[in-house]
C-alpha cells in the first residue's frame, strides 16, 4: 500500500484538474476511514458522507456516487450523449464504443444535462467501460427525461 500525503487536497486538485469540478461552498473533502465528501458539519458526526474515492496503485479513482452527485459541475472530460438508447444502455451497465484518442482516462457520462455515471476510456479497445456499480445501475424502460 502506498501512503498518499494530504489525500483530501490532492483529490480536490485531481477533481479540478481532470474534470474542472469545483465543489460548492460548504462541501468539503475530509479523511474519515478514507477520503469522504460532505458538508463541514458532518465531520463532527459519527455518520460520514459519501466516500470520495478509492485509492489504488495507479492513483485516484473517483467513486460513481461522487460523480453522480457532483458530476453536473464538470467542465471537462465528460461526454454528453445524444442517443437515448445509448444512455439507457450505459445506465444499465453497458459500455460505449467511442474513439477519444490515445489517453486512458475517467470520463463522466451525461444525457440531456443529467449525469448518468462514471466510465473509464480504454484507448486500446476504443471503448468507455462502465464503472457504475451493479447496485446503482438502472434498467430504464421508458424515457430518461
Domain ranges of the chain: 7-72, 77-136
Q: What is the CATH number of domain 77-136?
A: 3.10.450.720
Predicted local confidence at residue 35, as pLDDT? 79
CA-to-CA distance for 106 and 91, rounded, in angstroms? 16
- pLDDT by residue for the chain (145 residues), tens only, comes to 444 568 888 889 999 999 999 999 988 888 776 778 877 777 677 766 655 544 333 456 888 888 988 999 999 999 999 999 999 999 999 999 999 999 999 999 999 989 999 999 999 999 999 999 888 777 776 666 6
Predicted local confidence at residue 24, as pLDDT? 92
| Model pTM score | 0.83
Amino acid at each position: 500500500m502506498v501512503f498518499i500525503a494530504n489525500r483530501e487536497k490532492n483529490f480536490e486538485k485531481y477533481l479540478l484538474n481532470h474534470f474542472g469540478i469545483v465543489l460548492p461552498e460548504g462541501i468539503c473533502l475530509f479523511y474519515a476511514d478514507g477520503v469522504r465528501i460532505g458538508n463541514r458539519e458532518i465531520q463532527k458526526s459519527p455518520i460520514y458522507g459519501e466516500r470520495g474515492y478509492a485509492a489504488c496503485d495507479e492513483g485516484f479513482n473517483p467513486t460513481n456516487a461522487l460523480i453522480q452527485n457532483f458530476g453536473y459541475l464538470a467542465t471537462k472530460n465528460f461526454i454528453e450523449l445524444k442517443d437515448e438508447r445509448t444512455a439507457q444502455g450505459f445506465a444499465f451497465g453497458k459500455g460505449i464504443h467511442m474513439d477519444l484518442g490515445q489517453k486512458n482516462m475517467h470520463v463522466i457520462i451525461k444525457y440531456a444535462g443529467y449525469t448518468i455515471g462514471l466510465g473509464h476510456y480504454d484507448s486500446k479497445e476504443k471503448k468507455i467501460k462502465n464503472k457504475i456499480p451493479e447496485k446503482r445501475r438502472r434498467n430504464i424502460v421508458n424515457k430518461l427525461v
